[in-house]
Amino acid sequence: MAVQYPNPQIEPVVDYVASCKLPTPFGVFTMHGFEEQDSRREHVVLTMGDVADGLPVLARLHSECLTGDALFSLRCDCGFQLEAALDAIAKEGRGALLYLRQEGRGIGLINKIRAYKLQDGGADTVEANEQLGFPADMRDFRVARHMLDALNIKSVRVMTNNPRKLETLKNAGIDVVERVPLMVGRNPHNDHYLDTKAAKLGHMLFS
């Protein structure tokens, strides 16, 4: 298999690298770079305001989606959620967006394209992953805990529509105090995708 996946038995070790200012259409953020020692995967956190004051931080833990985030795909709601999360943080004046390099729920970009081809043939998003020999979701959020610790973020109010994700984050050692809905991006191209996430993955979505 070309893509190397994290070993769930081995705790990831993440190094802080550097920070810089990042002007965006939503406001000026500070971007913090991190690198995993073993895999050399690179991740970033965008912060705004004082996130190290001990109070819960409005946060989005966003897994990379090149097609949705950068190529404007309408097959998913990822790009819409990314923009909505940045906008929500900017309006609050304080928050953090963790951008985690685990494309396609952890299966990688090329396998995600293969999964899309299976979906073109009638499979849903869960069935496509399983037909390729993967679980429905392979993401590992333990790396996020180390990034939050490095930024002295003690607890988070997570922007997500996925209640199961909250349990995953808590199991990773992240103190989640609230789920904040992020209802954006439904369109005719992703109706089936979103309905599958609700029916098979437990997402709480609007109709």
Question: What are the tens digits of pLDDT across the range 127-150?
Answer: 999 999 998 888 888 899 999 999
Q: Do the Cβ atoms of 125 and 156 come closer than 8 Å?
A: no
Q: How far is CA 189 from CA 9, 60, 70, 72, in A?
A: 38, 24, 17, 12
Note the pLDDT of residue 30.
98
pTM of this prediction?
0.88
pLDDT for 40 beyond 50: yes
Question: Is 164 tagged catalytic?
Answer: no
**The one catalytic residue among 69, 124, 139, 145:** 139
pLDDT for 9 beyond 80: no
Note the pLDDT of residue 206.
55
pLDDT mean over 52-68: 96
**The one catalytic residue among 69, 77, 137, 145:** 137
Q: Percentage of the chain surpassing pLDDT 70?
A: 88
Q: Any known ligand binding at 20?
A: no
Backbone φ, ψ for residue 120 (5° rounding): -60, -30
Residue 164's closest CA among 148, 143, 179?
Answer: 179
Query: Which residue ranges form the domains of the chain, and what is each CATH number?
Result: 14-102+139-201 (3.40.50.10990)
Q: Any known ligand binding at 62?
A: yes
